[in-house]
Amino acid sequence: MKAYAVSGDISYLDAAKLSGYTFLYNMQHKPAEEGVHDKYYGGFARYVTITDDWSQPMNVEDLYDFIGLKMLAETYDTDNKTKYETMMSDAAGFLRSGFEDLYLHFDPKPNG
């Protein structure tokens, strides 16, 4: 979004929307819709491997995702503000115990 703000090149904004709105939304919701939901972590993962292994560890740099989503919701893609807010709320709920215990590396244990 910074590149878009500096250059005015819409392709940068489109890329931010694609990664924020389309990709993240699908990572959070599509697995459950397709019946491949991770039963322990609610579908939250940094990535899923080709062998269907879910990587759930979260690092402090993952918090930067919230900044990008907030910028999209409030400035660059206000038509989808509600979806961005829902994604941020879902992610914050997942990370809550890591936030509360001030972890720099959060590796949640299975709870399902």
The tens digit of pLDDT for each residue in 45-75 reads 566 666 766 566 655 566 777 888 899 999 9
Work out the pLDDT band at 82, boundaries 50, 70, 90: very high
Q: Both tokens of residue 76?
A: 């660059």
- Is the Cβ–Cβ distance between 111 and 48 less than 8 Å? no
Whether the pTM exceeds 0.85: the reply is no
In a domain, 111, yes or no: no
In a domain, 12, yes or no: yes
Kindly tell me the burial class for residue 73, based on how many C-beta atoms sit within 10 Å of its own C-beta (0-12, 13-18, 19 or more): buried
Q: How far apart are CA 28 and CA 32, in angstroms?
A: 8
State yes or no: pLDDT of 3 exceeds 80.
yes
Total number of domains in the chain: 1
78: number of CA atoms within 13 Å, CB side? Answer: 2
In a domain, 112, yes or no: no
Instruction: Provide the residue range defining the domain that includes 34.
Output: 2-106
